[in-house]
Every structure is written in structure tokens, then in C-alpha cells.
């Protein structure tokens, strides 16, 4: 199983690399590799340390009984913020196309993350009531 | 070999009471170097890793298959013509492509969070297979992050790179899916065991099976998971990631599911606006280009080449069809279009039966200034050269004076500002 799937998988990887190199005018392999490696480095050297710092701060600051709910709220809202970030900053906004990126994304992100945080708080409250009974 | 749990299940001691670990563990237990015995998480769990891995696998698999379908639409091949029906097929597949790509953001991050201590496993390689597996994981992590990042940036119209998004996203999809295949094979046995042997004849559902000793199942993930803590449990974490995925989907998928449009607060498009991807100004098409001098022609392998003014086109029999505009970026909307049937024009020009057509735009440059209409699409009753949308004359941004609209086609192939058909 291991070697069979490794052979198949690496054959497909080789096909992808071959295609990217063959179409080098469009894919610009050096720039592509730079972005792929950059993604790994950003994850390992920025995202993970920040997340570790976050968990450490939560463990230190938040009382034990509410800790998991604060963690849940952070885990649920962080992807929303990451996803919306380019739109909040308006990186891709086109002045002559009002139908692209039509919303006020900063306000909408605040609204959505607040709603998610409220939902987590509601679940926490229900859980606390159930435990009290 | 299983290491004994330092904290029996049910022990509710807080972080301050955690026993100091031997110095040797700082090297052999990947959870230790950064935790230093002060903080323990239950999330470095093989079963959790397997569930999240299954989630990533399903989402990436859906992205890959729907992406191939989209690629086939944009790069047609004669030996595998895309069908003209069902009319909304591309709308569904590309909506699924983008929705599953968005959904994979929280799942991929959660998966990486659960397994990242493996990066610090020591020694990193024991066998040749470890080298192969680790290289594959490196490719999978790099490819996965690239695919999700580039896809999310693309739908936000943000291109912080110098290469073609389409070409890079397509070839990196192969690289990523290859690494996924390799990884699935490498983790198949341990993942199935971790998931409780689902799929095996006579296997019990996971909840009823005793959890295997985690340290035995996977030394890199085991020991810390046995600890007790005050944070999210494994199940709580999994449910939260599921909820995050659901929330992200709920606030974006309305760009293609009309019923959820009011909720689509973070979607890059609002289908109720009848959005366009490329305006006339962006395409360099001026109102003057389509004024009095406009002529539409049908050329190529025809008996009677046609040259028609806009008035002559509008006088031809008109047909109405409700068809979706389905963008490669995942947004779509259906609308009533009306205009001349493509097949009627082909008959008028004396094109041979089964002809295929290249449609050309007034647009001078751009990857999509022409599009290809295969035999089935050309003969479809609803493939139109539309002059009206919603009963009104097309606006310049929607392709005035004439645009192609047909069933089961990506928006980029619904050529705007059409000026010529070339029968091939």
C-alpha cells in the first residue's frame, strides 16, 4: 500500500511539475516555487507561533471554566478573518467595476464574527445551565 | 511501544500541576520542546488528525475533479467534448469547486495545527520510507497552502504573483493531488485504525471501540493527548472546525445559491447585482466601436457567408431562454436572455451539419476574446447570440450589442461584444 501509492502519487507529482515547467512562460516556475515555499515558511514561522502565542495567552488569561469557549470562538472566527482579509483591505477592488467586491467587508466581517461569538456564547450558556441541573 | 499515561483519564488537575517530564522527552516527544511541560493539549491526536485528514481529502478531491471539468471547458479537446446539458451543470460544478475550496481553509489549518509537532519529531528519518513520506508531506503542505491561498486570492481578484493564475493553479493541483495520494497510502492503515476500522467487515462504529493507546498508535502524536486539560476537547475542536467551515460556507455560498444570497456577507460577488467580471472599459471596448459601423459576420466553412447589421440581426426570429451565467470564480445567476439561435444562423449561412464554431469578440486582446462552441452546444436550442437580458437591450458591460449565451458553459466562454462566427 505504502510503496504503491507512493509510486502513483509521485508519478502524478512528476506530471504536475512537468506541466508547470513545460508551460514556464505562464507558470514562471522560479516565482511559483518561491510562493509555495513562502507559504510553508509563513505557516511554520508566522501562523504557528502566533497560534501558539494565542493558546498560551488564553491559557494564562482566561479562567479555566470559560477557556474552551474562548478557544472555540477564536477557532471559529479566525478562518473568517483570514478569508476576508484581502477583501477587507480591498486589494482586488476595481474602480470601474462596482459589481466586483460590492460589500463593505470590514463591517460585514465585524458583523459575522460577532454573530459567531454570540452563537458560541449561547452554546456556552446552554451548556452551563445543563451542568447546573 | 506504548508509554504509560502520565495523567489517568478523569484527573482534573490544572496546568500548574503538570508533572515535569524527563529531559529525554524534550527530544523524543514533539509536543515538548515548545510546551516545556506547562501546557498540554489533547489535540495532538491521531484520530482527530485522521478525521481532519479525511475532510481535507474529500474537499481537495472535490476541488480537483470539478477543477478538471472546468479546465476541460476552457481548454476543449476533440476526444472528450463537454456536454451541452444539463444547462446548469457547470454552475453546480464550479460553485462546488469554489465552495469546497473555501471550506478547506479552516479544515486544512486545523489539520496542520493538529499534526505540526511531527515537524519536530526526532530523529526525523528512521527508514527510507520516512524520507519518501516526509518529502511527500512537504509537497502536500506547500501545495495545499498554495492552492487554498491562490484560490481565495483569485476570487478576491487579488493577484500578488507574477505568473498566470490559471496555469499555476492547474499544474499545482496535479502536484498537490499526487502528494495527497501518496500521503493517503502512507497513512491508510493508521488512519483506518484511528477511525475505528470503518469500512472493515464487522467493524464496530468508532464510539463503541476502545481508543487505541495513542502513543502506541503513533509516538509522534501520543503522549500529550492522554493528558487532561481545561481547553477544547478533541470532539469540541472537531465540532468547532465543522462550525467554522459551516459559517464560512454560509456567508459565501450565496454567491451561487440564490436562497442564501442575503447571507452572503463575505462573498466577493452579489448575484442580485447581475455582476460582470470584465467590464467594457477593462476589455478596451468603447461605445463607439459598437455604434453605427457595427457588422456581424458568419464566415469559414459556410456556403453563404453572412454580413449583418444590428438591425438586420434583431429582425431575425428571436428565442428566449433562461440560462445561468456561471463564473469560474464561483458566482452565478440565472436570467432570461433573448436573441437569435446559433443553429438558425448556421442554417442561414449554409454551414455543414455538425459544424463547430469559434466565436470572436470586438475585444482586441485577452485570453477569452474568442471561445469555442462544440457540436452539441452549437445545435442546442438554447445557445443564443443574445441581444437582450431581462427584456432590456444588453448593457455595454454585459456585451452589447451581441453576446454568446449557452447552456453548461463557463462565464468566460459566454463571449461578449461578439462580431464574428467562424465555422470550423
Residues A63-100 have pLDDT tens digits of 988 999 999 999 999 999 999 999 999 999 998 899 99
For residue B209, pLDDT beyond 70:
no
Residue with cell 516545556: B36
Q: What mean pLDDT is predicted for residues A40-59? A: 93
Residue ranges of E strands in B218-318? 296-300, 306-308
Best residue in B100, B163, B235 to probe A by mutation, most A CBs within 10 Å? B163
Residue B300 distance to chain A (closest CA, Å)? 31
Residue B121 confidence (pLDDT): 78
Characterize the bridge pairing of strands B403-405 and B384-389. antiparallel
B234: pLDDT confidence band, cut at 50, 70 and 90? confident
Pick from B105, B163, B173: which is nearest to A31 by CB?
A: B163
Provide the greatest CA pair distance for chain B: 90
Residues 74-103 of B with CB under 8 A from A: 102
Which of 333-392 (B) contact A at CB < 8 A? none
Cis amide leading into B86 (omega within 30): yes
In 3D, which of B229, B221, B224 has the Cα closest to residue B48?
A: B221
Share of chain B above pLDDT 70, in %: 82
Structure confidence at residue B127 (pLDDT): 87
The beta strand positions in B315-412, using DSSP E, are 319-326, 332-341, 357-361, 370-373, 384-389, 392-393, 403-405
Q: What's the CA gap between B340 and B271, in Å, rounded?
A: 25
Asked if the model's pLDDT at residue B200 lies above 90, the reply is: no
Distance, CA of B325 to CA of B95 (rounded, Å): 12
CA–CA dist B244, B401 (Å, integer): 45
* pLDDT tens digits for range B370-421: 999 999 999 999 999 999 999 999 999 999 999 999 999 999 999 999 999 9
Task: Mark which residues 73-112 of A lie under 8 Å from B by CB.
Answer: 75-80, 82-84, 86-87, 91-94, 96-97, 99-103, 105, 108-109, 111-112
Of B30, B39, B35, give the one whose Cα is nearest residue B221.
Answer: B30
Chain position carrying cell 481578484: B157
Judged on CB neighbours under 10 Å (0-12, 13-18, 19+), B416 is buried
φ, ψ of residue A90 in degrees (nearest 5): 70, 30
Question: Chain B contacts of A44, Cβ < 8 Å?
Answer: 116, 119
pLDDT band at B32; cut points 50, 70, 90: very low
**pTM for this model (two decimals):** 0.87
pLDDT in tens, A92-128: 999 889 999 999 999 999 999 999 999 999 999 999 9
Cβ–Cβ gap A102/B269 under 8 Å: yes
Q: What is the mean pLDDT of residues B91-96?
A: 98
> Is the C-alpha dihedral spanning B232, B236, B242, B247 positive or negative?
negative
As a whole number, mean pLDDT of residues B170-198 equals 89
Q: Which of A17, A68, A112 sits opposite B265 (nearest CB)?
A: A112
* Band of pLDDT at residue B83, cut at 50, 70 and 90: very high
pLDDT-derived band of residue B3, with 50, 70 and 90 as boundaries? very low
Q: Please indicate whether, in this complex, the C-beta atoms of A67 and B231 are within 8 angstroms of each other.
A: yes
Q: Which residues 28-67 of chain A have a CB within 8 Å of chain B?
A: 28, 31-32, 35-37, 39-40, 43-44, 47-48, 51-52, 55-56, 58-59, 64-65, 67
What was the pLDDT predicted at B27? 45
User: Given a cut of 90, is residue B156 above it in pLDDT?
Assistant: yes
How confident is residue B43, by pLDDT bands cut at 50, 70 and 90?
confident
Distance CA B249, CA B252 (A): 5
CA-based Rg of chain A, rounded to a whole angstrom?
Answer: 22
CA distance A125 to chain B (A): 15
Q: Which of chain A's residues have a Cβ under 8 Å away from the Cβ of B160?
A: 91
* Contact between B185 and A15 using a beta-carbon 8 Å cutoff: no
pLDDT at position B194: 84
Radius of gyration of chain B (CA): 28
Chain B residues with CB-CB distance to A24 below 8 A: none
How far apart (Å, rounded) are the C-alpha atoms in residues B106 and B118? 20
pLDDT at B217: 37
Q: Which of B36, B149, B182 is the best substitution to test chain A (most A C-beta atoms within 10 A)?
A: B182
DSSP codes, B194-262: HTT-TTSTTPPPGGGSPPPPHHHH-TTTSGGGGS--SS--HHHHHHHHHHHHHHHHHTTGGGT-GGGGG
Average pLDDT in the A41-61 region?
Answer: 92
Q: Would you state the cell numbers that stand for residue B382, as one nine-digit string?
A: 438554447
Q: Which residue in B61, B227, B266 has the most chain A C-beta atoms within 10 A of its own C-beta, making it the best mutation to test that interface?
A: B266
Query: Could you give the CA distance from residue B383 to residue B15 in angstroms, rounded to a whole number?
Result: 67
Q: How far apart are CA B139 and CA B131, in angstroms?
A: 12
CA nearest A44 in B: which residue? B116
Average pLDDT value for residue range B243-272: 96
Residues of chain A neighbouring B182 (CB-CB closer than 8 A): 5-6, 8-10, 13
**B235 CB-side CA count, 13 A:** 2
Closest partner CB to B171 (pick from A4, A23, A103):
A23
Amino acid at each position: 500500500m505504502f510503496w504503491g501509492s507512493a509510486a502513483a502519487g509521485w508519478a502524478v507529482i512528476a506530471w504536475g511539475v512537468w506541466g508547470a515547467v513545460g508551460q514556464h512562460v505562464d507558470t514562471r516556475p522560479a516565482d511559483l516555487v518561491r510562493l509555495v515555499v513562502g507559504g510553508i515558511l509563513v505557516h511554520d514561522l508566522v501562523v504557528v507561533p502566533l497560534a501558539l502565542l494565542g493558546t498560551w495567552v488564553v491559557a494564562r488569561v482566561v479562567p479555566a471554566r470559560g477557556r474552551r469557549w474562548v478557544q472555540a470562538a477564536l477557532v471559529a472566527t479566525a478562518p473568517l478573518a483570514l478569508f476576508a482579509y484581502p477583501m477587507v483591505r480591498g486589494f482586488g477592488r476595481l474602480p470601474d467595476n462596482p459589481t466586483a467586491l460590492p460589500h463593505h467587508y470590514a463591517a460585514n466581517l465585524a458583523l459575522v464574527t460577532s454573530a459567531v461569538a454570540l452563537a458560541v456564547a449561547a452554546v456556552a450558556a446552554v451548556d452551563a445551565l445543563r451542568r447546573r441541573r | 511501544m506504548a508509554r504509560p499515561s502520565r495523567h489517568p483519564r478523569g484527573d482534573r488537575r490544572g496546568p500548574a500541576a503538570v508533572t515535569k517530564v524527563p529531559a529525554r522527552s524534550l527530544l523524543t516527544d514533539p509536543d515538548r520542546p515548545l510546551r516545556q511541560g506547562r501546557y498540554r493539549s489533547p489535540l495532538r491526536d491521531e484520530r482527530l488528525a485522521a478525521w481532519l485528514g479525511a475532510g481535507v481529502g474529500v474537499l481537495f478531491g472535490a476541488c480537483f475533479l470539478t477543477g478538471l471539468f472546468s479546465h476541460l471547458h476552457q481548454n476543449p479537446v476533440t476526444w472528450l467534448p463537454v456536454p451541452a446539458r444539463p444547462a446548469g451543470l457547470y454552475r453546480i460544478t464550479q460553485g462546488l469547486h469554489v465552495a469546497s475550496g473555501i471550506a478547506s481553509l479552516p479544515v486544512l489549518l486545523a489539520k496542520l495545527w493538529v499534526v505540526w509537532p511531527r515537524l519536530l519529531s526526532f530523529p526525523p528519518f528512521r527508514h527510507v520510507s520516512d524520507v519518501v513520506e516526509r518529502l511527500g508531506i512537504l509537497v502536500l503542505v506547500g501545495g495545499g497552502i498554495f492552492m487554498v491561498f491562490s484560490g481565495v486570492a483569485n476570487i478576491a481578484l487579488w493577484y500578488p504573483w507574477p505568473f498566470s493564475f490559471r496555469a499555476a493553479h492547474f499544474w499545482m493541483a496535479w502536484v498537490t493531488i499526487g502528494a495527497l495520494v501518496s500521503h493517503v497510502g502512507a497513512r491508510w492503515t493508521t488512519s483506518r485504525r484511528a477511525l475505528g476500522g470503518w469500512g472493515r467487515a464487522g467493524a464496530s462504529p468508532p464510539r463503541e471501540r476502545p481508543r487505541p493507546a495513542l502513543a502506541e498508535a503513533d509516538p509522534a502524536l501520543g503522549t500529550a493527548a492522554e493528558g487532561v486539560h481545561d481547553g477544547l476537547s478533541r470532539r469540541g475542536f472537531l465540532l468547532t472546525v465543522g462550525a467554522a467551515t459551516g459559517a464560512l460556507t454560509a456567508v459565501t455560498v450565496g454567491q451561487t445559491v440564490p436562497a442564501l444570497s442575503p447571507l452572503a456577507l463575505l462573498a466577493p460577488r452579489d448575484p442580485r447585482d447581475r455582476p460582470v467580471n470584465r467590464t467594457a472599459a477593462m476589455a478596451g471596448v468603447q461605445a463607439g466601436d459598437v455604434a453605427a459601423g457595427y457588422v456581424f459576420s458568419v464566415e469559414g466553412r459556410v456556403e453563404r457567408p453572412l454580413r449583418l447589421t444590428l438591425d438586420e440581426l434583431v429582425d431575425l426570429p428571436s428565442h428566449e431562454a433562461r440560462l445561468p451565467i456561471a463564473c469560474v470564480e464561483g458566482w452565478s445567476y440565472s436570467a432570461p436572455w433573448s436573441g437569435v439561435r446559433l443553429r438558425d444562423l448556421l442554417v442561414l449561412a449554409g454551414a455543414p451539419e455538425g459544424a463547430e464554431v469559434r466565436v470572436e469578440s470586438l475585444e482586441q486582446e485577452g485570453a477569452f476574446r474568442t471561445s469555442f462552441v462544440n457540436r452539441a452546444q452549437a445545435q442546442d436550442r438554447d445557445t443564443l447570440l443574445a441581444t437582450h437580458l431581462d427584456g432590456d437591450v444588453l448593457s455595454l458591460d454585459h456585451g452589447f450589442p451581441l453576446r454568446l449565451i449557452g447552456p453548461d458553459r463557463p462565464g468566460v466562454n459566454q463571449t461578449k461584444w461578439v462580431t464574428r462566427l467562424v465555422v470550423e
